[in-house]
Chains A and B, each alone.
Chain A
Amino acid sequence: MTPALEISHLRKVYRGGTVAVEDVSLTIQPGDFFGFLGPNGAGKSTTIHCITGISNPSSGTIKIFGVDAVTDYRAARKLVGLSPQEFNVDPFATARNIVDWMGGYFGMPKALRKARTEMLIERFDLVPHANKPFRELSGGLKRRVILARAMVHDPQLLILDEPTAGVDVELRMQLWGYLQELNRDGKTILLTSHYLEEIERLCRNIAIVAKGRIIRNGPKEEFFTEPGGLERAYLAATGKAADHVAAGAA
């Protein structure tokens, strides 16, 4: 079966010489709910930027459902929806326009775009806020708009970079339910988060990245058979276990 995402020896060096991703290789199967964990600056977002076209990879290959994300980038982009960590929108545009425009960029005809936009606005409880400028929305509402925008073209691979950062418990639970529903419907989801319980609850496979390399990668169960579970495995993989233990002892 063609993997949903296949990254091979990805390396990204920024113009100033900073190595953001040293060597990342990763395979995600279709229908998977994949957790991508790592401390700040580990290379998670840069890897995602290379997958989605926001960054140019320095070397390595990225294939999305077998389509090369660099040489056949237009076909590859159609398959991916991105909810980025930062709010990368026109703050004066309305929530409805933000979602609708993204559908337009993806070439969706007006009727289909309108139907999807309205469905997502309703799904994310944005109806009373749909015509307000983005900058006037609360943090949680902004996050919902970004998620709706990522889903408007009904992508096969959904990449969510810390989608629940700064949102309240209610929305987080609602979002988890929706993501599980999407995954059940066959969507492949790549999720980064600093909330281990979120990864634990949603994901079937997990990779931990640190200093631009994949440190551990495997099914969720592997992490939970060990004492201390995912938290311990995460801290050990990122080299923080000793500090953690010392802090706990103090």
Chain B
Amino acid sequence: MNWIGLWTMVRREIQRLARVPIQAVVAPLISALLFIFIFGFVVGGNIRKIDGYRYLEFVLPGVVMMNVIAASFLQTTSQIYFQRFQKSIEEILVAPLSYVEMIAGSLGIVILRSVFTALGIMLIGVVFGAVHMHSLPEFLFWVVFVSMIFGFLGIIVALWAKTFEQLNVLMVFFIQPLSMVGGVFNTVEMLPPWLRWLAYGNPLFYFINGLRHSMIGFSEGPAGFGVVFTLVLAAVLGGIVWRLYSIGWGLRE
């Protein structure tokens, strides 16, 4: 394993992100602060408790997960696409790095960025007195594996995209709408029965529900299904990305 090469990939991305702190750090925290303040504090003050928790405490895990998803996806799409655009991806291609190492280097920074984003939002949550931790290992499982899933998706989109416009397709048409209807702001019970499929048929519901369970112990999904689904999805997407790297799709001419 080329550990130095791997660490260099992570180190380089940290330095790149340090050049764009507003985009990488401040923007998600401000967005989370507004969500927590408006939906959790202002509106939530008028909503009854859910399973004994204030609405703000119910909403916070969803806000964390929405930002983890966005941070992971944007990290790999911007990293890989810009490297392709500048051709600086060739620095990686000519180096003695295996495909697994190349992918792990990109995912390492994804996980770091996601954990950092999650911790930042949790700190805001502490200010509002809304942070609980039902199970830390469970919390880390959801943050790490969901980051991996959206990091992989970001890599696939970045390899496929030929224009900057195409980078946003998945985010605008799928990820953002699905996260909004994935139970961030409401329980499944709040939905009319004929609309509940919108939650159970939505993959993002299981991620939000899982993180919420790790924080406040409240869950509406079938026990264990979310974990198995997440592990299988991460493995399948990881396999696809490995295959794309090994044939050089979008990477090599």
A interface residues, Cβ below 8 angstroms from B: 14, 46, 49, 52-56, 73-75, 77-78, 80, 82, 84, 86, 88-93, 97, 101-102, 104-109, 149
Contacts and interface: CB of A to CB of B under 8 A. Distances in A.
A224 B58 CA distance: 83
A29 to B, nearest CB: 23
B7 A104 contact: yes
A126 to B, nearest CB: 18
Please report whether the interface of chain B is mostly helix, strand, loop or mixed according to DSSP.
Answer: helix
A106 B248 CA distance: 20
A109 B7 CA distance: 11
A77 B95 contact: yes
Contacts of A56: 247-248, 252-253
B248 A74 contact: no
Nearest to A15: B253
Interface of B: 2-5, 7-9, 11-12, 15-16, 19, 83, 86-98, 247-248, 252-253
Given A56-B248, A89-B86, A90-B16, A14 B91 contact: no
Given A46-B253, A53-B252, A93-B15, 13 more contacts: A49-B253, A54-B253, A73-B96, A77-B94, A82-B94, A89-B88, A90-B16, A90-B88, A104-B12, A105-B5, A105-B9, A107-B5, A149-B91
Nearest to B87: A88
A107 B3 CA distance: 7
A84 B253 CA distance: 15
A102 B93 CA distance: 11
B15 A97 contact: yes
A92 B83 CA distance: 12
A74 B86 CA distance: 23
B91 A54 contact: no
B10 to A, nearest CB: 10
A106 B8 CA distance: 10
Contacts of B86: 88-91
Top 3 nearest A-B pairs (CB, nearest first) are A104-B8, A105-B95, A88-B87
A107 B4 contact: yes
A46 B92 CA distance: 18
Given A86-B87, A91-B86, A53 B94 contact: yes
Nearest to B19: A92
Contacts of A77: 94-96
A80 B94 contact: yes
Contacts of B248: 56
A69 B143 CA distance: 39
Given A55-B252, A90-B16, A106 B5 contact: yes
Given A89-B88, A90-B86, A101 B12 contact: yes
Contacts of B83: 90
B109 to A, nearest CB: 14
Contacts of A53: 93-94, 252
A89 B9 CA distance: 14
A106 to B, nearest CB: 6
Contacts of A149: 91
Nearest to B12: A101
A94 to B, nearest CB: 9
A142 to B, nearest CB: 13
A101 B98 contact: no
21 contacts: A53-B93, A54-B90, A54-B93, A54-B94, A55-B253, A56-B248, A56-B252, A73-B96, A74-B96, A74-B97, A75-B96, A82-B94, A89-B91, A101-B11, A104-B5, A104-B7, A104-B11, A105-B5, A105-B92, A105-B95, A107-B4
